[in-house]
Amino acid sequence: MRTIAKPYLLFLGDAGREFGAKTAQGVLHWTPEDCLAQFRLPGCEIDLGLPDMDFPMAQAARARTVLIGVTNRGGVLPDAWVPPLVQALAAGLDIVAGLHQRLSDVPELAQAAAAHGRALHDVRHWPGGPMPLATGRKRTGRRALMVGTDCGVGKKFTALALQRELDARGVAATFRPTGQTGALIAGHGTALDTIPGDFIAGVAEALSPDNDPDHWDVIEGQATVLHPTFAAVTTGLVHGSQPDALILCHAAGRRTMRGLPDWAVPGLAESLQAHLTCARLTNPAARSVAVSVNTKGLPDAEARAAIDRAAAETNLPTTDPVRYGAAVLADALPGS
């Protein structure tokens, strides 16, 4: 299991506004206590509002890992970022990235990491050793999996909000990321989207191992089993997760699937049934327990109406956990 040392120095490079800093902003939003400072090269147009530090300063302030917080379209590391990242390793910091390209495939970084005894973490890649094949063996402990009506409907936010609520209640629970930003927030885990098809369910099994009988793994979802592009990943994740409880995530008002303007978002009840059927292959006791509606940007009355509609469509406890808290979701978990 990969473990990433924290706190982070968020590396923004020389990113212009067009880059966006979704990764860094997601980590900062959910774990501000893990984000010590930002590092920017000349020309950087992004500002997260954190103190600017160079590598020796950050190391002296007890930062442990440089997090590559911006991504360009191709998911590769710009050449201009390599020399400063070599300096970071020399200053005693690890590096973590969620790029398609592996950090360790950049010779200068591999050499510097070896020379200074630092770690290079690629959360989009299996951390080493043979990838596991799923066995279907039932594991101990309890698992709640976020599923959805589409991509980008709030599965990660819902999982994080639920895990915090369980923490606050003193229920033993672990957030299990399955995407790159989630893995950077958690400091462990592997993004599933780049895992070869044969191994997706096996990696998903490894991501939520045997645990205490009352412990909840709160597993970030991916896409939907009704997605014409990405359902393979969802299917492997659902089978490998062996979820006891499914929480359906939905974006209020979304009519067509993201990036697929000819594809209507499937209904909530249809989506739940499809995921439940899939889940019961490896856990016949799987149940749908709640719905999470992303109402971002809606006025309060419309948000509440959207939640009421989703509840009526599914006959399940429903809320927007980011807006109204995750108590409704935590209450819906059997025995928690």
Q: Which member of 1, 17, 262, 299 binds its own copies (CB under 8 A)?
A: 262
Instruction: Rank residues 138 and 169 by Cβ distance to its own copies and give the closer one.
Output: 138
Q: Which member of 235, 292, 294, 318 binds its own copies (CB under 8 A)?
A: 235
Nearest of 60, 109, 65 to residue 85 by alpha carbon: 109
Q: List residues bridging with 315 in a β-sheet.
A: none
Q: Do the strands 318-319 and 287-294 form a parallel or antiparallel pair, or are they unpaired?
A: parallel
Instruction: Rank residues 31 and 194 by Cβ distance to its own copies and give the closer one.
Output: 194
Assigned token pair, 317: 């406890």
| 133 near its own copies, rule: CB under 8 A | yes
| 76 near its own copies, rule: CB under 8 A | no
- Enumerate residues 6+ apart whose C-beta is below 8 A from 189: 2, 123, 176, 177, 178, 182, 183, 207
Assigned token pair, 23: 């990764």
- SS3 at position 66: strand
- Enumerate residues 6+ apart whose C-beta is below 8 A from 222: 151, 155, 178, 179, 192, 193, 230, 233, 234, 237
Minimum distance from residue 102 beta carbon to its own copies (Å): 14
Longest dimension (CA), the chain: 60
Instruction: Rank residues 17 and 137 by Cβ distance to its own copies and give the closer one.
Output: 137
Running DSSP on this structure, what letter comes out for residue 241? Answer: H
| Binders of its own copies in range 266-325 (CB under 8 A) | 277, 281-282
Instruction: Rank residues 257 and 290 by Cβ distance to its own copies and give the closer one.
Output: 257
Minimum distance from residue 67 beta carbon to its own copies (Å): 23
Contact 89, 109 (CB under 8 A): yes
Q: Which member of 16, 32, 83, 228 binds its own copies (CB under 8 A)?
A: 228
Q: Which member of 170, 196, 297, 299 binds its own copies (CB under 8 A)?
A: 196
User: Binding segment for its own copies among 113-121, 157-165, 190-198, 247-255 (CB under 8 A)?
Assistant: 190-198
Minimum distance from residue 263 beta carbon to its own copies (Å): 6
| 201 near its own copies, rule: CB under 8 A | yes
Binding site for its own copies (CB under 8 A): 133-137, 192-198, 200-202, 225-226, 228-233, 235-236, 239, 260, 262-263, 277, 281-282
